[in-house]
Homo-oligomer: A and B are copies of this chain.
Amino acid sequence: MIRLFFLFFFLIFSCEASVQDFCVADFTAPEGPAGYSCKNPANVTVDDFVFSGLGKAGNTTNLIKAAVTPAFAAQFPGLNGLGISIARLDLAPGGVVPMHTHPGATELLVVVQGSIATAFISSANTVYLKTLKKGDIMVYPQGLLHFQINAGGIPAIAFVSFSSPNPGLQITDFAFFANNLPSILVEKTTFLDAAQVKKLKAVLGGTG
């Protein structure tokens, strides 16, 4: 009896409540400037809010000896609309995450194993460079160029959080050399020598 009266009160609110708590991505419906459409809350389960892909090391047997495993909204639909995302960074000894930006987010890195040398460069061209050890964190303000390098003899691991569910990633070398942007335009807009452009275009699969 007492329960029924409470439920009466409760039901008044429950109809719309799920609307604003979260918006798990439904990849089959249209996407808008604020993110993906929402999955029907009735079909949402805890597994929409949990992601297990960061538990094992990325494959670093590549030339840069590095791997980045993202858990952005496209991989982890529970993040949609919630203003945050994360990725795992593995750096084998000698590993490098080359110069890059995240056009849509600030990054916050925490070292959980090993040591990492890292810097970001401001619009005023000032270099903010530091070698981080386990437990250290560093923040990279939105949109600025930065890099990470393994600074120890053992594999380094870090988790990097972002202030957006879709931070984006633009690796400068790929933007310059891994597409069909004509070499002459690359040269004119970067001041790099033609031979250098040609060499990196070949390495990175660019044409033109």
A residues lining the B interface (CB < 8 Å): 2-3, 5-10, 12-23, 26, 29-38, 41, 45-47, 49-52, 54-56, 58-59, 62-64, 66-76, 78-86, 88, 96-99, 101-106, 108, 110, 112, 117, 119-130, 132-145, 147, 149, 159, 161-164, 166-176, 178-181, 185, 188-193, 196, 199-200, 202-205
Contact = CB atoms under 8 A, between A and B. Distances in A.
Contacts of A122: 17-18, 21-22, 170
A190 B170 contact: no
A46 B37 CA distance: 26
A181 B120 CA distance: 10
Contacts of A54: 110, 135-137
Given A76-B137, A102-B143, A147-B189, 11 more contacts: A6-B205, A9-B64, A10-B125, A55-B134, A85-B108, A104-B142, A117-B185, A125-B174, A125-B179, A144-B170, A192-B196
Given A51-B137, A163-B84, A20 B103 contact: yes
Given A141-B22, A173-B191, A166 B16 contact: yes
Contacts of A69: 12
Given A49-B138, A70-B16, A136-B52, A125 B188 contact: no
B174 A143 contact: no
How many copies of the shown chain assemble into the complex? 6
B166 A73 contact: no
Interface SS of A by simple majority? mixed
A137 B49 CA distance: 8
